[in-house]
């Protein structure tokens, strides 16, 4: 074959935000393995390693065909020695010993169960693991001190473990729309996160809310949650006020991945449509975010995900364009100014990137 004769290798760009990554792809047998190692690195507080495995997996998701030999990987970016070793073993033996022993390990399984509790991060889970705790039941049995969020997490653990379907997300969308319009007519509501990217299931449902008249959205969240509470639709909610100030949070902090919008992490009580089901309702995690209209395009881009796609966008902006991107704004360090945008398309254009639609941001 001619040198550079492989079109796949030639076209594969190194940042995930330069590529189209569909939801369904040809290499799950490899990406699932690499993502276990990524997850395990995260459990061990090794972010660099975790991101490396995730980037490797993401490159394979963007390939237009199944990987059959190591030859297929020539010239692909982001595949380090370790990832290549794992891929090689899977191609040759059908599985990787490192991946399988990780999957079976007590630490991996306990960390998965414990971080799977709403309100529990890696640090808390790790502390519990070192104290000998392995599951939500262990927390209850030993009477662990839990904050309000974690109490709800343990209480609704089984429901929250079950994937949320698109049909359930659509019912929640109708409820959220009704609540928002009851307290602020003219407000706009958009489904975000995995469902905006075309996923059929998710771990929660994400919404972004705004109003075309800037300022009308201020203080909106408590009104929405009160309405929902009155209807008996909320099992848990925690609202955080908007704390974004361009002058203070602008360039210096804009690249932080935590945004500062008014937001609400909640658990909805969703009535089941079929009365034949054992219990009449289930708990569903819902994230609500309120954005001023002028930041709506940035918020939309920032809350669509995937998490790796977002991370890569910010890395691209900083390293390749000397800009800082957040869910609030895009700041150009060379020109010393904020770049205004009304649409996601404009933001990609400022960044010198081809527009990638949400359904192809599944990096
Ligand atoms: N996000 C964020 N700040 C948070 C949590 C999430 O900006 N504290 C953003 C993420 O970057 C992501 C989006 O919100 O772009 C959705 O996050 P999440 O619901 O965790 O993931 P999904 O992609 O929706 O996947 P899933 O289906 O599992 O919910
Ligand atoms: Mn290594
Ligand atoms: Mn989500
Ligand atoms: Mn979410």
**Tens-place pLDDT, residues 337-359:** 999 999 999 999 999 999 999 99
Considering every ligand atom shown, identify the ligand nearest to the alpha carbon of residue 202 and give its number. 1
Asked if residue 1 is part of any domain, the answer here is no
133 CB-near residues (< 8 Å, 6+ apart): 110, 114, 139, 142, 144
Q: Which residue minimizes the CA distance to atom 21 of ligand 1? A: 193
Band (53; pLDDT cuts 50, 70, 90): very high
> Which of 88, 35, 37 has its CA nearest to residue 59?
35
Please state, rounded to an integer, the average pLDDT across all residues of the chain: 94
Q: Is the pLDDT of residue 68 over 50?
A: yes
Q: Report the range of poorest mean pLDDT among 12-21, 25-34, 243-252.
A: 243-252
Cα-to-centroid distance, 84 and ligand 2 (Å): 10
Span 10-16, mean pLDDT? 89
Please determine, for residue 241, whether its predicted confidence score (pLDDT) is greater than 80: yes
The Cα 347–Cα 329 span in angstroms is 10
| Residue 194 beta carbon below 6 angstroms from any ligand 1 atom | yes
Residue 204 falls in the annotated catalytic set: yes
Res 249 pLDDT > 90: no
Q: Which of 6, 138, 287, 332 is catalytic?
A: 287
275 pLDDT band, cuts 50/70/90, is low
Total domains in the fold of the chain? 3
Average confidence (pLDDT) over 10-27: 94
- Pair 179, 268 in one domain: yes
* H helix intervals, the chain: 7-11, 28-43, 47-61, 81-93, 97-104, 106-115, 122-130, 136-141, 148-155, 157-161, 166-183, 193-196, 220-230, 246-249, 296-302, 307-321, 344-350
- Judgement on whether residues 138 and 259 belong to the same structural domain of the protein: no
* C-beta of residue 74 within 8 angstroms of C-beta of residue 87: no
Q: Residue 245's pLDDT is what?
A: 75
Backbone angles phi, psi at 360, to 5 degrees: -115, 25
| Residue bearing the bigger pLDDT, 121 or 259 | 121
Structural domain harbouring 96: 7-102
Q: Is 249 a catalytic residue?
A: no
- Position 5 pLDDT exceeds 80: no
Q: For the residues 259-265, what does the mean pLDDT come to?
A: 93
Cα–Cα distance, 315 to 363 (Å, whole number):
14
Q: How far is CA 20 from the centre of its chain?
A: 17
How confident is the model over 120-140, as pLDDT tens digits? 999 999 999 999 999 999 999
Told to judge if 72 belongs to the known catalytic residues of this protein, a careful annotator would answer no
| pLDDT exceeds cutoff 70 at 257 | no
Q: Both 150 and 292 in a single domain?
A: no
Ligand 2 centroid distance, CA of 93 (Å): 20
358 in contact with ligand 1, CB cutoff 6 A = no
Q: Among 194, 254, 256, 259, say which to mutate for ligand 1: greatest number of ligand atoms within 8 Å of CB.
A: 194
Same-domain status, 167 and 301: yes
pLDDT at residue 96 is higher than 60: yes
- How confident is the model over 166-178, as pLDDT tens digits? 999 999 999 999 9
Q: With a cut of 60, say whether residue 2 has pLDDT above it.
A: no
Cα distance between residue 39 and residue 48, in whole Å: 12
d(CA 164, CA 277): 16
163 CB within 6 A, ligand 1: no
Q: Tell me what pLDDT residue 248 has.
A: 64
pTM of the full predicted structure?
0.94
Question: Does residue 98 sit within a domain?
Answer: yes
CATH number of the domain at 352, please: 3.30.460.10
Is the confidence at residue 1, as pLDDT, over 50?
no
Query: Is the same domain home to 35 and 111?
Result: no
- pLDDT, residue 252, reads 46
Do 230 and 288 share a structural domain?
A: yes
Q: Which helix (H) or strand (E) holds 279?
A: none
207-230: per-residue pLDDT in tens? 999 999 999 999 999 999 999 999
Residue 284 placed within a domain: yes
């Amino acid at each position: 074959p001619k040198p550079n004769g492989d079109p796949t290798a030639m076209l594969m760009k190194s940042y995930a935000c330069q590529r189209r990554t569909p939801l369904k792809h040809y290499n799950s047998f490899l990406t699932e393995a690499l993502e276990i190692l990524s997850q395990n690195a995260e459990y061990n507080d090794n972010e660099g390693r975790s991101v490396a495995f995730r980037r490797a997996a993401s490159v394979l998701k963007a390939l237009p065909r199944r990987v059959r030999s190591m030859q297929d990987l020539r010239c692909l970016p982001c595949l380090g020695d370790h990832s290549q070793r794992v891929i090689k073993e899977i191609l040759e033996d059908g599985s990787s010993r490192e991946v399988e022993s990780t999957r079976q390990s007590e630490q991996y399984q306990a960390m998965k169960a414990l971080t799977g509790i709403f309100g529990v991060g890696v640090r808390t889970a790790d502390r519990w693991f070192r104290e000998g705790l392995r599951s939500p039941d262990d927390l209850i049995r030993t009477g662990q001190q839990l904050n309000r969020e974690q109490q709800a997490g343990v209480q609704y653990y089984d429901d929250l473990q079950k994937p949320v379907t698109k049909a359930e997300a659509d019912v929640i969308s109708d409820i959220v729309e009704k609540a928002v319009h009851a307290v602020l007519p003219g407000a706009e509501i958009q489904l975000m996160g995995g469902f905006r990217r075309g996923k059929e299931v998710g771990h929660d449902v994400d919404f972004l809310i705004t109003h075309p008249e800037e300022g009308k959205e201020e203080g909106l969240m408590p009104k929405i949650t009160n309405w929902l509470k009155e209807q008996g639709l909320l099992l848990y909610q925690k609202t955080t006020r908007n704390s974004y100030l361009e002058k203070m949070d602008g360039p210096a902090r804009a690249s932080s991945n935590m945004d500062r919008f008014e937001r609400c992490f909640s658990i909805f009580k969703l009535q089941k449509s079929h009365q034949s089901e054992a219990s009449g309702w289930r708990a569903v995690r819902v994230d609500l975010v309120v954005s001023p209209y002028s930041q709506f395009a940035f918020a939309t881009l920032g809350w669509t995900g995937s998490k790796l796609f977002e991370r890569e966008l910010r890395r691209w902006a900083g390293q390749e364009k000397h800009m800082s991107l957040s869910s609030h704004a895009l700041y150009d360090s060379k020109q010393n100014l904020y770049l205004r945008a009304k649409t996601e398309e404009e933001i990609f254009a400022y960044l010198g990137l081809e527009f990638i639609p949400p359904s192809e941001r599944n990096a």
